[in-house]
């Protein structure tokens, strides 16, 4: 829920600031700035809640902490790349792939009731997926619109 809040609030703030200072709304810049801020927030979680996020990975996966740190660094790199038009398209493709690849781990975590913030198994369980799956689809569409510039209408 926090990433969605940060994404939408940042988008609204950036849109308003661009309107005030440039007299245009500049939705694409606002959308990519919002992606940047959201990814920086989620990246922080990889470093703050490493143990809990490691529980989201099945037992047969080795080097869990390394994977969690690596994906945190990836999110930081993607956040920075979204700010540069030259790298925005590639960052968008990588981010969409990342979202798709991370979905099975979110499903696994929901089945196991993982609470990544407390590194325990008292999470919301499958109810988590009712928010997480639509959220990931929303992020894919957001990325298609603002980073890849796909027009749906």
pLDDT tens digits, 91-118: 999 999 999 999 999 999 999 999 999 9
pLDDT of residue 72: 98
* 138 Cβ contact partners less than 8 Å away, ≥ 6 residues apart: 4
pLDDT of residue 128: 84
Locate the domains of the chain by residue range: 2-146
The alpha helices in 23-84, defined as continuous H runs, are 27-48, 50-54, 64-82
Q: pLDDT (tens digit, 9 = 90+) per residue, 36-94?
A: 999 999 999 999 999 999 999 999 999 999 999 999 999 999 999 999 999 999 999 99
- Which uninterrupted H or E stretch holds 23? none
Q: If 0-12 CB within 10 Å is exposed, 13-18 middle and 19+ buried, where does residue 151 land?
A: exposed
- Does residue 149 or residue 37 have the better pLDDT? 37
What's the pTM?
Answer: 0.93
Name beta bridge partners: 80: none
């Amino acid at each position: 829920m926090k990433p969605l809040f940060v994404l939408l609030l940042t988008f609204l703030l950036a849109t308003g600031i661009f309107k005030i200072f440039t007299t245009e709304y500049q939705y694409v810049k606002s959308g990519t700035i919002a992606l940047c801020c959201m990814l920086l927030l989620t990246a922080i979680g990889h470093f703050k809640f490493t143990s809990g996020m490691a529980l989201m990975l099945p037992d047969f996966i080795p080097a869990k902490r390394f994977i969690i740190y690596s994906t945190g660094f990836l999110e930081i790199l993607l956040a920075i790349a979204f700010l540069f038009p030259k790298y925005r398209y590639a960052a968008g493709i990588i981010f969409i792939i990342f979202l798709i690849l991370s979905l099975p781990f979110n499903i696994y975590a929901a089945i196991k009731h993982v609470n990544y913030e407390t590194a325990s198994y008292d999470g919301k369980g499958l109810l988590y997926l009712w928010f997480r799956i639509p959220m990931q689809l929303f992020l894919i569409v957001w990325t298609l619109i603002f980073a890849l510039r796909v027009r749906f209408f």
